[in-house]
Structure 1
Amino acid sequence: MEMGMVARWKLRWQTWDLRVVILVSLGLQILLIFVAPLRKRVSRAWITMPIWSAYLLADVMANFAVGLISNSQGMVENGKTMSIQCRHRSGPFADPTLLAFWAPFLLLHLGGPDTITAFSLADNELWLRHLLGLGFQCCAVGYAFIQSYPNHKFWIPTLLMFLVGVIKYSERTRALYLASSRIFQDSLLEDPDPGPNYAKFMDEYTSKNNAKLPTSIQMIPEPSKRNKTGTDEAEEGLSDLEVVQAAHKYYLTFRGLIADLIFSSAQRNESRDFFLKQTARDAFKIVEVELNFFYEILYTKAKVMQRKYLGYPLRVLSFILTCAALVLFYLIEKKKFHKFDIVVSYILLVGAIALDLIASLMILYSDWTAIALTKSDPPNWFIKKLQCLLNVKRKRWPETPKPQWFSHRKIMQIVRLRWSESLSQYNLINYCLHPRMGWWEKTIGFFGLTIMLDGIKYVNTEDFTSHLRDLIFAELKMKSDLANDLQKAKEIFSARGDWILKHEGHINLLDWINKIEFDESLILWHIATELCYYTNHSKDEKTSGNSYDDDTKLNRELSKVLSDYMLYLLIMQSPMLSSIAGIGKMRFRDTCAEAKKFFLGRKILKEDVNFRKIFTSSKCFSCCFSKYFFNEEKGQDKKLQEACESILKVNTEVSPVTVKGDRSKSVLFDACRLAKELQKLKRKQIWKIISKVWVELMSYAAGHCRVNAHMAQLSKGGQLLTLVWLLMAHLGLGDQFQIREGHARAKLIVSK
């Protein structure tokens, strides 16, 4: 009986497997076209993981369905499907002609939606695999078509859909090819530049000398193309359309950053002069849109679609062919086919048309189309009509407060974002103060889940505020204004806190940056910021009876946000700082070990947590899990303040390395000494200096992060570090400006 039940379920699966897989494949295409753009706006795992799963599953489902169709066609005899197991099976069995008609839709699904061609940068390097896949899948679809011919009633619509599928799959393969590192770099290289004809010039010079003519060479420098700078007076704010136009202009100039190309001083001066005149809001919006262009050429079909003679015409052709296939399918008599199979066919046709229409609307309302429609000056009547119809001058960033809860306003706010506009926070002392579960942590570590679960429990997010934006831009603008030559710009670019300390006159603090590695200074300043944050403020309130003024309070909050953000990058996003992080993780672990040991000794932290006690006090396992991973202990701020005060009470007259040696890389009490030095400053100066140091540390990290790491973050919600990196390049702060002059013109002067 059990064997009979197994046989029935097996028969049922063989009956419905192809239909289920095809419909799931279509569903994944619909899901991806809507959800895939969210990954550049949301940095949460709850959106990244489903997109990753759908991206991988979409190809698997389409390939699997093509295999099922090819296998089913192999059981065809005289145009009727033969059952190996049982000939009298009931239920809908697809006719071979319908199987052949469905096959091209799977080729179309393998082409994927316009909104995602690659999930990561590594996918672009696999373009050759997709090219081979295109060939094999075309052969499989062709095999299914030949097996059903000449009894194939739908051969014309099948052929039309086959052409559409080839176009779509070719678009994806070409998009991956153009976004691969070598091809992308080659596409940006200009024609070889041999320079002026030196040999001809010297031949002429030699002939003049041989003729005993008094000859000299006069060098005429290339005329400067630099615009008159307007740094003294900022321009009025740009409209949203002007922001998009400026972003596209500088995208065309600075896309070579992705390929590690170098730029001329003329390009630097032009960009620098423009950005020095902008407000912080406009400068950051330009950079956001520019990075959005980078994202779309690396991860979507945008570069293929923007081709004037291949992109738009092929898209129009594929839409016309799909509509024609739908009309022909409707006109052909279908009485002998099962109704459900006819419904599936209509769903595939309508789904293909709907996906094309949605993709077309996305293209029409994209920044690329807005740029294309505003290039012609003056525009003709047709362009004017299109501009009006598509509302290219619409407000792209309406000034509305961010909604706190999930609602229509929240959805619209997410749709308008160009990146996540959030900063992840990770705090060392807070991490060390959380109770430990010895055996539980060892179990987590055994399965390699420590980093993932630490990210859930200890990482939170803060919004990227206008105050933080203004602070960063003010600091970068001030430095750019001083960097008139390339040498000065490289000096500022290489500074990691020391330049601002010299500029502000705090020479006594330089040793905490100059004599140590970057990762050590980052952890040192992070702990020192935390100690000052929780002790200096409360101490001043007790002694003076009043709190900080607004500017000092703001600098205090921004310093903590940047401090926790930079530690998050060092520990949780280590690939971004891999070139400058050194032994940062080892130093972090040793520092945490010393902090935990210290807190245990001072009775601030319990040695272990009884998991059984938590479990018995919870109603269910999920409550226990939630209590351990998500619930913050009551009075956490008070506990942090107590911990910071305890650290500062330790006598640190003698350097820790003198007492402990240098085997342990902990910097806990070195940071305590730094905090005490900072607290010697005037109250208002402390947070002004700390905030400026953090901006410079972040700028150093942004400039020395590998380009691939920056581009990889674009598909994960983006990072503030990437915006700062590109903004620094536009302000002329970097080492990529290596072409000082153009071609000088030499002129032979023959004296009389």
Structure 2
Amino acid sequence: MQIFPPGLRTILNEWEIQALVLVSLSLQIILFVMGSRRKYWTSDMLSVILWITYLSADWSATVSLSVLSSNAGNIEDNAVDPKFMITAFWAPFFLLHLGGPDTITAYSLEDNELWRRHSLTLVIQVGVAVYVFLRAWTKTTLNFLAIPMFIAGIIKIWERIWVLRSASSEIFKASMLPSPDQGPNYARYMEEYRLKKEEGFDVKPGKFSDALFVGDFSFTAPENVMILDAAALQDAYHFFETYKQLFADLILSIQDKVNSQSFFQKASYDAAFKVIEVELGFMFDVFFTKAFMVYSKKGCLLRLISFFSTVSVLVAFLIMEKHAFTTADIIITYVLLVGAIFLEIYAVLILVISDWTMLMLSKHKNFVVDFLCKTISKIRFSKNKRWSNTMGQFNLISYCLEEKADKFRVIQKFLCRNQLPEKSRYQDSAEVSMKLKELIFGLLQEKSKSAKDPKTCKGLCAYRGDQVLKNSKCADCKEKEDRESEEESGEVRFDPVLQNAKCHYEIGEENYKTIEQSVEEEFDQSILLWHIATNLCYYSDWNTSPNSVKIQNCEESKLLSDYMLYLLVMRPFMLPNGIGQIRFQDTWAEAVEFFQERKSKCVGNQAKIILLEVSTEVPPSKVKGDRSKSLLFEGCRLAKSLQCLENEKKWELISHVWVEMLCYAASKCRWNHHAQQLTRGGELITHVWLLMAHLGITEQFQISKGHARAKLIVH
């Protein structure tokens, strides 16, 4: 049965390859233009478009070569149709497209891991293109013009294979391993030891140390201060060369830790976060672009060969005789040539305005460099954003109240209320404010002062709010705790029972126990409890006095609260393993039922604090049992306990607890999850993770300094 009418089949047969050519070129342009923007765009629509385009780009080029190969099989050996000859000339352009743009070589980390599969596919496509080229060979000018295009195409293919291989975890880790250190010659040492002993000497093994100086660490000022963020670029690149080992699960040395600490402990919060975002920008380029290839001497040379090969072909095609070819095919050939040159120029433009170029220029000071700096500053767009500087937000109460349901009634009937598409409608974003950065950096800077040995660092990474409560006690409470700790045979206790001691906040023993127990639960449970409590406190204060939410740390606490729930709901893989999804859906179900029973009262912000009217004198767990994992009214109890504090002390405590929870989550998240989020605009938790490592708050430092060597001591 013929599905398509004869006329349509004729059109498809005549214009099939032309259509595929234009589709392939269009996909390349989309990837070129939008590939680098995912570093600072958080749009889900961009992610979907890039994902479809990334997969379709290779598919369209592969299918096009297959069509050309099929057409080549139908050609007689004695004669070559001019139409096939010019379409065969397009084969190397598909190799250019398969080589991919500089701005996106891998959509995700998994693409790097599959570099062998990609390599085999690309090599086969090169073979297909060569077969088509040889079938169309007639020693005409057009055949000879295809040779430079093949050179450019093969260069692009090789670049992509090399970059994918270099960014794979196996090769990336191997590239950073130090040279083998076999240590002193043990056999020679023992031979000398035996001989000296037989000669009657008193011989003892001893040690000498090559200990390196680790003290105050500072950088020389950049040569060219005209360049924006010149100091941050040089500082970030220095740390990037060392701390990229964190992205390969390698261990850093004590020397690295002390040098980094000495710098970041003296830095301002603004400068520290600037260095971190530049450093992560370099990391993004390593994993997902051709940066390491393009910004090397070898890469620049290959780029010049590729560019001038394409330009020379365009010039030659302009002056050659083209009467044998149709106008449409000639136009498409020009489009391919001009498109290839445009993409090369765009790639150079991206290179020129990148941080890599500005880093290189910051090390030089002369007339040419100054002229380049002024020119680049005029053509830089998007203010060279390095990440989105936003944090996801998800509010449980707003989600339960279905505040966005009225506009999407039809869609809501289609979607399951607790599935990802529905949740994404309630996902929001907020700017990471300078006040929030100052709060986070200040607390980490204070913790860093005690990060002196691996055991202490491990303890600092394990805090998730308990240390904040411990530090909030009065002197009498701390003295009582110290006595109890001594009685426990040196065992450190982070969550002591206050007994009859009076807390500094004077909120009563029962309320303090409620607060204390909330940070001792499983981590996802603590997030939900504190999210509910923070929101109830926030909206209660707003209803009482709108000015009260403007006090220090109040807005920051709300932002962190919604951000941590966003991670729990939308990015659970970035948090420690648990049953957070079950707890969330049970809590959501109970909250929905509660609000539906009180529809008349659920109006505006009043609906968000109506939960506080419910008596929680009896613990909810004793009433509901443990089958349901709902934490709705446990969160209400926590909110009521926190409301006993004075406003300033309350929000100081809440904000500090949230920062500790954020830091705990950051330290427990695997490096590959941090790296993958760089392609979605970046995450605040990733910046915090790297900042903690620079301040020495990490477990990825070796225990010993490793500078000691053995020697013989002869008396």
Q: TM-score, normalised by structure 2?
A: 0.88
Q: Check the 8 A contact 1:221/1:745 in 2, yes or no.
A: yes
Structure 1 residue 239: Cα displacement: 6.0
* 2:432 is aligned with 1:464: yes
Task: Identify the match of residue 136 of structure 1 among 113, 120, 124.
Answer: 124
Closer, same or farther in 2 for the Cα pair 1:427/1:321, shift >3 Å? same
Any idea what SS the aligned residue of 2:553 has? helix
Structure 1 residue 747: Cα displacement: 3.8
In 2, Cα distance between the equivalents of 1:324 and 1:449? 59
Q: Partner of 2:354 in structure 1?
A: 366
| 1:379-424: CA deviation from partner (whole Å, max 9, x where unpaired) | 5xxx84552243189779xxxxxxxxxxx9xx944x5211111111
* 2:326 is aligned with 1:338: yes
In 1, Cα distance between the equivalents of 2:211 and 2:580? 49
Any idea what SS the aligned residue of 1:333 has? coil
In 2, Cα distance between the equivalents of 1:652 and 1:332? 88
Q: Check the 8 A contact 1:496/1:700 in 2, yes or no.
A: yes
Q: Partner of 2:343 in structure 1?
A: 355
Q: Partner of 1:79 in structure 2?
A: 79
In 2, Cα distance between the equivalents of 1:262 and 1:583? 31
Query: Mapping of 1:608-627 within 5 angstroms?
Result: none
* 2:482 is aligned with 1:482: no
| 1:90-116: CA deviation from partner (whole Å, max 9, x where unpaired) | xxxx61221121111011111111001
Any idea what SS the aligned residue of 2:415 has? helix
Task: Identify the match of residue 498 of structure 1 among 457, 466, 469.
Answer: 466
Task: Identify the match of residue 593 of structure 1 among 589, 595, 603.
Answer: 589
Q: Partner of 1:453 in structure 2?
A: 422
In 2, Cα distance between the equivalents of 1:393 and 1:502? 55
Query: Mapping of 1:104-503 within 5 angstroms?
Result: 104-150=92-138, 152-228=140-216, 240-308=229-297, 310-374=298-362, 384-391=366-373, 412-413=381-382, 415-434=383-402, 443-445=414-416, 450-456=419-425, 458-503=426-471
In 2, Cα distance between the equivalents of 1:125 and 1:485? 35
In 1, Cα distance between the equivalents of 2:135 and 2:460? 70
* 2:584 is aligned with 1:602: no
In 1, Cα distance between the equivalents of 2:43 and 2:362? 36
Structure 1 residue 41: Cα displacement: 0.6
Structure 1 residue 548: Cα displacement: 3.4
Any idea what SS the aligned residue of 1:482 has? coil
Kindly provide the amino acid, as one letter, of the partner of residue 429 in structure 1.
I
> Unpaired runs of 5+ in structure 2?
219-224, 475-497, 499-511
Moved more, 137-146 or 692-701: 137-146
Kindly provide the amino acid, as one letter, of the partner of residue 37 in structure 2.
L
Kindly provide the amino acid, as one letter, of the partner of residue 244 in structure 1.
L
Q: Check the 8 A contact 2:518/2:529 in 1, yes or no.
A: no
Moved more, 558-567 or 310-319: 310-319
In 1, Cα distance between the equivalents of 2:306 and 2:200? 74
Structure 1 residue 249: Cα displacement: 0.8
Moved more, 424-433 or 646-655: 646-655
Moved more, 3-12 or 697-706: 3-12
Q: Check the 8 A contact 2:543/2:605 in 1, yes or no.
A: no
Structure 1 residue 513: Cα displacement: 4.2
Closer, same or farther in 2 for the Cα pair 1:80/1:217, shift >3 Å? closer
In 2, Cα distance between the equivalents of 1:36 and 1:138? 25
In 1, Cα distance between the equivalents of 2:598 and 2:327? 77
Task: Identify the match of residue 661 of structure 1 among 600, 607, 625.
Answer: 625
Kindly provide the amino acid, as one letter, of the partner of residue 265 in structure 1.
I
Q: Partner of 1:651 in structure 2?
A: 615
In 1, Cα distance between the equivalents of 2:58 and 2:208? 61
Moved more, 206-215 or 479-488: 206-215
Structure 1 residue 429: Cα displacement: 1.3
Q: How many residues align?
A: 668
> Unpaired runs of 5+ in structure 1?
82-93, 231-235, 397-407, 607-634
Q: Partner of 1:515 in structure 2?
A: 520
In 1, Cα distance between the equivalents of 2:467 and 2:91? 64
Kindly provide the amino acid, as one letter, of the partner of residue 281 in structure 1.
D
Percent identity over the alignment is 41
In 1, Cα distance between the equivalents of 2:228 and 2:34? 29
Q: Check the 8 A contact 2:353/2:376 in 1, yes or no.
A: no
Structure 1 residue 212: Cα displacement: 3.0
Q: TM-score, normalised by structure 1?
A: 0.84
Query: Mapping of 1:669-680 within 5 angstroms?
Result: 669-680=633-644
In 1, Cα distance between the equivalents of 2:39 and 2:457? 31
Q: Partner of 2:478 in structure 1?
A: none
Closer, same or farther in 2 for the Cα pair 1:74/1:747, shift >3 Å? closer
Structure 1 residue ranges (4+ consecutive) displaced by more than 4 angstroms after TM superposition? 2-5, 392-396, 435-443
Q: Partner of 1:738 in structure 2?
A: 702
Q: Partner of 2:21 in structure 1?
A: 22
In 1, Cα distance between the equivalents of 2:211 and 2:228? 33
Q: Partner of 1:98 in structure 2?
A: 86
* 2:564 is aligned with 1:566: yes
Structure 1 residue 80: Cα displacement: 5.0
In 2, Cα distance between the equivalents of 1:663 and 1:220? 63
In 2, Cα distance between the equivalents of 1:261 and 1:15? 57
Closer, same or farther in 2 for the Cα pair 1:150/1:605, shift >3 Å? farther
